[in-house]
Structure 1
Amino acid sequence: MATITRVCRSALRPHNSRLIGANLTRIAGISTSKKNKDTISLSDEVIQKEKVDTQENTAVTNKNWISWGFSYESEVKDNTTMHMTFFASVTLCIVTGGFVWAYMPDFRMIDWAQREAYLQLRQREAEGLPLIDPNVVDPEKFELPEDEELGGVEIII
């Protein structure tokens, strides 16, 4: 524990940078040697092939590419079509359609009917009339059955 503390303290001092690697190698078993075996170099053919592919504007597909379903041959065409479709459906249809629907005029006149009802109620209150007229339809315009015609039928009003 004391050795690790000493190493950490010496790591804070810039002049002891040579000792940090040696102490960590001794304590933790960390190797800092170069690994020449793990490096590879690309052959000129692979680099040339990539340059030719990019110059011809052909899409080089990734081997792990999963298509969105718009194009199974070209990854670039598939992604471009997917982005354009989602832009059109979300931005143009939902956002613009919602904006138009929210601010379109009252074509069914629902709000007009409610405003007109409030105006009629205010007018009837000002004139001292009942709010709802019991004779909305003139009784002379229709015939009611006589009591004898109704017989024993109970009438609930």
Structure 2
Amino acid sequence: MSALTRLSSLSGSVNLWRASALQLRRISTSKKQQETATINPTTAVDETKIKSDIFDPEKNWVSYGFNFHDKEEDRHMMHVVTFMGVTVCLVFGGVALAYRPDDLGRDWAQREAYLELRRREKLGLPPVDPNYIPLDQIWLPTDEELGDTEVVI
């Protein structure tokens, strides 16, 4: 119950904050409070020229950056580059990465390990030989050579 009370008080404070923010937005800092934009009626403007400038596709054409003078060539090159970038690079590149051969030899090492385990099982040997390296070939330091060095096993 106390959680509901806290939640309702929190939402009330948020609403108060919103209300104060809206009031702050209505404050005008301009010295000219009654200034409005007006049109000078003495200047005559040809409305047909304005409409033709707005709706003329050649005048308002923005190049994609491939050809700044020919609209059709520019659009064609944009489509070619987009197709090549998406289809060839992303799709075919992803397929090539997914199906590339095993460069690091992980599959080969795992197959060899399974073959070695199977061979050792058939011979009745343990999976890993505890004396993999003969004891006469291992050199260990003496207690005097170790001194106060901590040995963690």
Aligned residues: 98
Task: Mark the structure with the bigger radius of gyration.
Answer: 1
**What stretches of structure 2 of length at least 5 have no aligned partner?**
1-55
Alpha carbons 1:71, 1:78 under 8 Å: kept: yes
Which residues of 2 match residues 3-152 of structure 1 at below 5 A?
62-152=58-148
For residues 124 and 155 of structure 1, the distance between their equivalents in structure 2, rounded to whole angstroms, comes to 34
TM-score where L is the length of structure 1 = 0.51
Specify which structure has the bigger relative contact order, considering alpha-carbon pairs within 8 angstroms and separated by 6 or more residues: 1
Separation of aligned partners in 1, 2:58 and 2:132 = 77
| Structure that is richer in helix per residue | 1
Cα 1:149/1:62, change in 2 over 3 Å: same
Deviations 1:81-127 (A, max 9, x none): 11111111122222222222222222221211122222222333333
For structure 1, which runs of at least 5 residues remain unmatched after alignment?
1-59
SS at match of 2:73: helix
CA RMSD of aligned residues (A): 2.5
TM-score normalised according to structure 2 size: 0.52
Does the residue aligned with 2:92 lie in a helix, a strand or coil?
helix
